[in-house]
Structure 1
Amino acid sequence: YPMVDADVSVLAVRTLLMAYDFRPPVNSYHRASCAAIADVAQVILSRMDALKAQGHAKWRAVDLTAIPEGWPISDCAMDGLDPGHVLACPGP
């Protein structure tokens, strides 16, 4: 920043998209929530190039392979990464 004339210590915080583990689904809410998480995963993955090219500058820093050690990927998110996944929430 132009008004800062000295070094300033900063802290960078990683941003993570986290979801509750809805498996096994015990009711319709869990099934719908799991489907929504799958949809979000599929939409982000399938549109990552466009998000990086045309979206907010922060999208260019997204690294989908930078998963913290020991953190599992949600089964619901994995459903969305299946090539045959059909969106549960179709677009407008």
Structure 2
Amino acid sequence: MNHQVHVAIQIVPISKEHPYPIIDKAIEAIDEAGVVYRVGAMETVMQGDYDALMTVVKKAQEACFAAGADELVVTLKVHARKNGDVTWEEKLHKYETE
């Protein structure tokens, strides 16, 4: 059975251009994939099926190359559970205000 996981991705583009527009293209690729995600100051965290998210990781990298990156340093973190889903609520409910 497939369970919901969290995948955190940080992409550091190496280019002669400023990195922010390249990073923006990675976030656009994530958004266009239709997955649930949250952008942070240092990484973007996605929630969903592991295989689907790995496809999104590849699309984000391809978007950075298309935007002018010569190289990428990509850091991934995966939180997976053997029996059950990983959710935002379990991690963040005590920090979110109404």
TM-score range, shorter chain: under 0.3
Higher helix share: 1
TM-score computed with the length of structure 1 as normaliser = 0.24
Higher strand share: 2
> Larger RCO: Structure 1 or Structure 2 (Cα < 8 Å, ≥ 6 residues apart)?
2
TM-score computed with the length of structure 2 as normaliser = 0.23
